[in-house]
Amino acid sequence: MTFYLHTYGCQMNVRDSEAAAALLVAAGHEPVAQERAADLVVVNSCSVRGKAEDKALGKLRLLVKSKRTHPGRLVGAMGCMVQRLGPALLDQVPGLDFAVGTRASRHLPPLVSAALAGAAGQLVLGTADDTDVPHGHLAATPSAYVTVLLGCNRRCAYCIVPEVRGPESSRPPRDIVAEVAARVADGVREVTLLGQSVLNYGRQGSDVWAGEPASPGGYREPFPRLIEAVSAIPGLARVRFTSGHPSGCSEELARAMAELAPVAPHLHLPVQSGSDAVLGRMRRGYTAAEYVAAVERLRQRVPDCAITTDIIVGFPGETESDFAATRALFEQVRFDNSFIFKYSPRPGTRAAEWPDDVPDAVKEHRNRVLLDDQDRIGLARNEAWVGRTTEVLAEGPSLRNPRRWSGRNGQGKIVVFAPVEGLQAGDCVRVRIERAKPQTLYGVIENRGMTS
């Protein structure tokens, strides 16, 4: 069959979709670039906020309707929302051919075969001890995601992720290194190591490094050892990872980020709130001062390190003074970028038992205020790049202006520049920055950088 995958949600879902597509290809199906050309459409769903689920549900219902004009079409769902809703999903989307939960997507090809043979409304959910998840991939792009840590062991009061993605499980370092090396051999230049709380890598259960040679750099903690091992793979230009938590921002992590040349000077470190009262109710496990100390530890060793964050506004009980504390934290940390979300109660989480008492208009207002703060701070931080030269991994023609190219520097900032003759996606170029906007840097290529 020809197939098309729709992906909602985070990078983890993007990665899972790619691995699922690789499974379908291995089973003889053929990916197509447009949904309308597909005999099989699968929606990889997200549960993080109510709106994300509404989108996936709406899309699935439309797809089921589209069977009338596409005879023989199959429609399936996968991912976090499937795992959360279980059998209820089949009631909410009548006509769905199959649904497969997180950690269970290896069942995708047999579910498709059974659906072709006439089975309807099939459902397979993942279980906590399912660690045999697919890690296949499609053709190489300059940049690739590699999952290193499944699931999440934290119990943040607002978050559905531990329920839908199960407990933490670290992949063996050998498997990760082998996957990255294989991708580099195919032309990948940059990898992003993924985990919901990636710095927790190797901190659960038995020692993932048992039996492996000692770290050449003398690192003892499992995650710094992992980025050291990945950085040693020849031909890999850049190593990124996401997401962080202050408890993992050790002195050793800072040293590894400073010493390992391929490791990008960027950490996505969700803070969620600047108020200790709210952080406590969220069960984040740190105070605002501890968060700031973690950022300072990194900046001490890696002065150019970009820090980006996530914020939730309108968490139950968030007062004006709690919100003021978040704004004060913005002024103190001066994030390079932030992603701001309005609180959305998720059934089954602790916070969902408390009244969702911040009116939507207030959430909306706080959201706008923080976006404006971030724009001002982001612009000032980006303006500090004007006149400096930065190394950019070229990605391809810019979406806004196809005569320009765009890429990202080590800090993860989008850099737009005029291409030179023979430039290819995946090339590293040195760009002198001439102009800045809150989200983008603009410059000119200085010379063809270290590699091409």
Tokens standing for residue 124: 């397979």
Would you count residue 354 as binding ligand 5AD (CB under 6 A)?
A: no
- Spatial contact of 210 and 163, defined as CB atoms under 8 Å apart: no
Closest CA to 142 of 390, 393, 405, 391: 393
As a whole number of angstroms, the distance between CA 419 and CA 405 comes to 6
78 binds ligand SF4 (CB under 6 A): no
By C-alpha distance, which of 109, 24, 34 is closest to 70? 34
When CB distances are held under 5 to 8 angstroms depending on the partner's kind, the choice from ligand 5AD, ligand SF4, none that residue 344 binds is ligand 5AD
Interface with ligand SF4 in residues 225-264 (CB under 6 A): none
Instruction: Find the binder of ligand SF4 among 21, 23, 40, 80 (CB under 6 A).
Output: 80
User: Which contiguous run of DSSP H or E holds residue 123?
Assistant: strand 122-124
Interaction of residue 192 with ligand SF4, rule CB under 6 A: no
**46: contact with ligand SF4 by CB under 6 A:** yes
Tell me if 295 contacts ligand SF4 by CB under 6 A: no
The residue among 247, 203, 251 whose CA lies nearest residue 226 is 203
Question: What angle (nearest 5°) sits at the alpha carbon of residue 119, between those of residues 116 and 125?
Answer: 105
The region of 10-18, 109-117, 137-145, 200-208 touching ligand SF4 under the rule CB under 6 A is 10-18
Using the minimum distance from each CB to ligand 5AD, give the nearer residue, 54 or 129: 54
Chain Cα centroid distance, residue 246: 17
Q: Does 161 bind ligand SF4 (CB under 6 A)?
A: yes
**Could you give the angle at the alpha carbon of 33 between the alpha carbons of 31 and 37, nearest 5°?**
80
Contact 223, 198 (CB under 8 A): yes
In terms of CB distance, is 49 or 183 closer to ligand 5AD?
49
Among 13, 197, 309, 349, binds ligand SF4 (CB under 6 A): 13
CB of residue 48 to ligand SF4, shortest distance in Å: 4
**What's the rounded Cα separation, in Å, for the pair 88 and 111?**
18
User: Is 346 near ligand 5AD (CB under 6 A)?
Assistant: yes
Binding residues for ligand 5AD (CB under 6 A): 48-49, 158-159, 270, 272, 310, 312, 341, 343-344, 346
Q: Binding residues for ligand SF4, per CB under 6 A?
A: 9-10, 12-13, 46-48, 79-80, 160-161, 164-165
